[in-house]
Amino acid sequence: MSVASRTSRCWSEVSLSAIGKNIRAIRRLAGGASLYAVIKADAYGHGVLELARLLENAGVDTFCVATLGEAVQLREAGYTRQTILLLGSFYADEVGDLFEYAVTPTIPDITHLGILSRHARRKPNPIDAHLKVDTGMNRYGIPFDELTERAQEIFRTPGVNITALYSHLAASALPGDQGTLDQIAQFTRAVDYLEVSNLWFGRKHICNSGGVLYYPQAHLDAVRPGLILYGYYPGAIDRDRVALSPSLSFHARVTAVKKLFPGQSLGYDRTYTAKKEMTIALLSVGYADGYPIRFSNKGQVLLGRERCSVVGKVCMDTTMIHVPSGRVKPGDSVLLWGGREHPLETVAAGAGTIPYELVCQISRRVPRLHVD
């Protein structure tokens, strides 16, 4: 364990070798499709600059982000050779920075296409962009009917070079989902229409993590792995499909130990009352660190091999657990989630949430320790 972790009240540990294994596993699944690595939200809480370095060394040449600020952070950190695809939308006052930092925007609708074109026409060179098609998620994207009706206008817009067409699957973590199959079919119809009309011949991508796992017929030119890149399954754990390597574990230290006696309540709002004498350990982690308040009176952690329950309300900086054996002392480390012994997917399901939320909300005050 590093010096930094020994002096930390809580920390997350990220295994770079595990992510390397996941990259290789995804490539085997994806066949000849390129990897567009989704590293938005600080690489899902894993530390974006460290992940970008690993991905660059692995030969990944396209990074996907959600905000212009995320793209600028990567460019200013020296990642100048990669294509950076902005998956999210953009504002008119951000278009100048799209050009300055060579960010590839998503065109989510006709309005944004017009905004982009008005700025691009004043530039010496057109801007590359990916056009998003709404195939049924009903969020961002140009609907199929509008795409076919206005295709001439869209693909001849001055100053904008549409290099790729893509869409997003709403329920791809469900194998054989009819809605997902319908989305893939709708996307195929859009591509076929444009190609038959001689309007566009470019790259195509639709598969997110679930699509990579369960819809190989839709891998196309590129896939966009997000959660599976970090070793977690978007739905049920499915090691028969692919053996992912979980890369992040979240830890905290015991700061104090006390006894709770029958009839005594614990913590804010007295949500827990002891029925017997209990050993209580106070952990130096709370919801300000990203350990959710929803784990109050329902979360479980591992103290060595002993499974301990969260008791009372999770506080801003402190969480209380019951240690049945009583064998605990200040300074002991506790595994909040992670690894094969305490899977993130299981922890998330027990709290009625999803793995994405848990890893993304680990706060900036929690040190990330990157290990090989």
The token pair at 299 is: 């979360």
- Specify whether 356 is catalytic: no
Contacts of residue 273, defined as CB under 8 A and 6 or more positions apart, other chains included, come to 263, 264, 265, 266
Q: Which of 123, 258, 268, 298 is catalytic?
A: 268
The vertex-128 CA angle with 122 and 130, nearest 5°, equals 130
Q: Which residues pair with 281 in a beta bridge?
A: 257, 321
In angstroms, the CA 19 to CA 146 distance is 40
- Specify whether 40 is catalytic: yes
Treating both helix axes as pointing N-terminal to C-terminal, what angle do 16-30 and 48-57 enclose, rounded to 10 degrees? 50
Contact status, residue 116 vs residue 92, Cβ threshold 8 Å? no
Q: Which of 40, 132, 204, 313 is catalytic?
A: 40
Please give the positions annotated as active site: 40, 268
